[in-house]
A and B are shown apart, each in its own frame.
Chain A
């Protein structure tokens, strides 16, 4: 137990240390520009000359200003501390001030994204499961549906998302809720489909023969063997699916001119040059994904244990 904790903490520490080290070369130019404006003595003094030089040379020539890079208002790469502060400022601090649902609160934006994720997940999972059932039932359906499912995943969602939004407004669907859920489900259905096909086909020939000796019907074979045998596979793909649904929801917010949602925060942060806002939104998305996957994982453990499977 302590051994596990130790290795987890070691990896975490390595990431944080690398991150801190990377801040210096990433921010040196911005730090020097800022120092120049403040009238500091910089070598070389002209920004045009500095453009020709590498980050490492600049750092070597201006050692005194390296530390400035760790305190910039608009850094290229913020420090972990800055990100954590920004995250707190836009979540916990907002709650304490009673402004949880303010437009500046990431809880508000996270909630918007979570809703799209949820509907996309629901839609994607339904499509995935129905598709898998159909594919397992019929060879013809497998041959006619499976190639399209695979091709669909080869198209970058970023290219497809604007079209989905334009088309859905063309056919008179108002608001961004539906197209966002559709984009989200587009990423989500595939892992569920593939996982369920595998799961529904997981019974051994001996298990299938057994039902044949009982002269069981196709429906009985499906409900009493294929469905329960597929459950462990279902949960594995649901965990991948919900993370994909979250990514889909965020992508759905990028090209739409949306003003709320984590994706919108990332885009606005980019347009207004506030990197801290981008990083805070990124981390909020990552934390959200972690929570969702963990919830599914717990559900899986409880359910499978109740089914007598050692998970």
Chain B
């Protein structure tokens, strides 16, 4: 079965010019992400995983190679609002209630008022925050704020979700819960998800495809097709199959790590 390609990178490079000379954040990175995939990017700091995600979002401009999103350039994809982006910090506007934060993209994109209301209600239910629309961000816990920011990215019709270490700042128990919820959400919405993480268990538990990256210069050192079944209860993490995948990821990380 061949599926459509959602994101395609070919020989993508990005070099930052700094006072200490050029930094190769990405070098000759090529990758295909199919529609409906859940792809995790894992690697140590400085391996370019966030930069790669920001290139997909047209928040960084690559200095070499090409990247297409939904068959068009990243810039056109951004202009046509092809993706929702979830940042490391929830980044909710403190002067807006949760409901109004979710309304923000809808206002900007010009959805009719009645449609806005319906969408806010739907995504709040989706992330299990119904009843919280009138609360201000500071009245919510960190995990709830991050769920609200995911709801904000889901509110408009983008079939790609780009997530930059969204659960990195949360404790492990909250993180487990959100991972489980995210999988359900993915199954329900059929979105294509690109997910940056530091955590091996998180990457293995969530993804259909795991991209292992290594630093200096930032590049892909391994791409692992996850053999785990789509239906994943939390305790799948204790099975041998899970540990095998995790082991391969760890090997990939070790191989890519230079000890110079």
A residues sitting closer than 8 Å to B (CB atoms) are 204, 206-207, 209-216, 220, 224-225, 228-229, 231, 307-310
Contact = CB atoms under 8 A, between A and B. Distances in A.
Nearest to A205: B59
- Chain B CB within 10 A, most for which of A210, A213, A228: A213
Interface in B129-183: 136-138
B87 A212 contact: no
Contacts of B93: 207, 225, 228
A213 B57 contact: yes
SS class, residues of chain A in contact with chain B: helix
8 contacts: A210-B87, A211-B108, A215-B78, A220-B108, A228-B93, A229-B95, A308-B94, A310-B138
Nearest to A212: B59
A211 B78 CA distance: 11
A63 B116 CA distance: 84
Contacts of B104: 214, 224
Nearest to A228: B95
Nearest to A207: B91
B208 to A, nearest CB: 24
Given A214-B105, A308-B96, A310-B138, A209 B59 contact: yes
B89 interface: yes
Contacts of B59: 209, 212-213
Interface in B82-122: 83-85, 87-89, 91, 93-97, 104-105, 107-109
A224 B138 CA distance: 19
Nearest to A310: B138
A156 to B, nearest CB: 40
Contacts of B3: none
Contacts of A308: 94-97, 136-138
B191 interface: no
Interface of B: 57-59, 78-81, 83-85, 87-89, 91, 93-97, 104-105, 107-109, 136-138
Contacts, number: 53
Contacts of B83: 213
**4 closest Cβ pairs, A-B complex:** A308-B136, A213-B85, A307-B95, A216-B108
Nearest to B81: A215
A206 B90 CA distance: 10
Residue of B78, B89, B108 most packed against chain A (CB within 10 A): B108
B192 to A, nearest CB: 15
Given A210-B87, A213-B57, A213-B83, A309 B95 contact: yes
Most-contacted residue by chain A among B57, B93, B109 (CB, 10 A):
B93
A209 B94 contact: no
Nearest to B94: A309
B199 to A, nearest CB: 21
Nearest to B109: A214
A220 B138 CA distance: 24
A216 B57 CA distance: 14
B95 A214 contact: no
B91 A214 contact: no
Given A212-B59, A307-B95, A224 B79 contact: no
Contacts of A210: 85, 87, 91
A213 B84 contact: yes
B187 to A, nearest CB: 24
Contacts of B80: 215
Given A206-B89, A213-B59, A308-B95, A224 B107 contact: yes
Nearest to A225: B93
A209 B87 contact: yes
A251 B134 CA distance: 49
B94 A224 contact: no
A235 to B, nearest CB: 13
A309 B93 CA distance: 10
Contacts of B88: 206
B75 to A, nearest CB: 10
Given A210-B87, A308-B94, 12 more contacts: A213-B83, A213-B85, A214-B104, A215-B78, A215-B81, A216-B108, A220-B108, A225-B93, A228-B95, A231-B95, A307-B95, A308-B95
A231 B96 CA distance: 13
Nearest to A306: B95
Given A206-B87, A220-B108, A212 B96 contact: no
Contacts of A212: 58-59, 78
A68 to B, nearest CB: 62
A56 to B, nearest CB: 59
Pick from A207, A210, A212, A309 the residue with the most CB of B within 10 Å: A210
B176 to A, nearest CB: 25
A202 B97 CA distance: 20
Contacts of A309: 94-95
Contacts of B84: 213
A207 B84 CA distance: 14
